[in-house]
Copies of this chain bind each other. A is one copy, B any other.
Amino acid sequence: MSDDKVKSAAMGTFTRYLTQHKLRKTPERYAILEKVFDLNDHFTVESLYAALHSDGYHVSCTTVYNTLELLAEATLVRRRTFGRQPAQYEKIAGLTNHHHLVCTRCGKVREIKDSAIDATLSSLRFGTFRPAYTDLYIYGVCSRCAKKSRASADKTLLTNKNTAKKQHK
């Protein structure tokens, strides 16, 4: 499906959602939806807000939050949180499915694709609960951090300062 088709399908879904819930179809809401579907990766409230403004379109922060919540309820956008960073959002349709490797040491996130996981996940059924999409985080230590800790096991005195600082990060 082309990006444009994905976008217009999303607009249709959103319109239906708004109608069904007796909510208003305001220009702000559609402007935000369009922008979200133009972006091809994660974004935060702030970056979306900035992107809209740099397009010369003024929307308040409140409205961005508001609309993203609606879009999330309409299953057009997902919201995720990594560590203690601000919430990240991304459109649901039109993105290839992916999962996240998160380093517990440095917080770095790497995206991965794995069809075996996808197959298992998409076959899930839970009685009355209707799954729409899933989120998988795999925590561990990235190679860089693993190497670092192997190194520090030796030069104990030198790394002293580093480990102390880490604590307050």
Contacts and interface: CB of A to CB of B under 8 A. Distances in A.
Given A114-B124, A139-B133, A104 B167 contact: no
Contacts of A104: 72-73, 75, 132
Interface residues of A, number: 58
A159 interface: yes
Interface in A64-116: 66, 69-70, 72-73, 75, 78-79, 81, 83-84, 87, 101, 103-105, 110, 112, 114, 116
A73 B169 CA distance: 12
B114 A101 contact: no
A130 B101 CA distance: 10
Contacts of A9: none
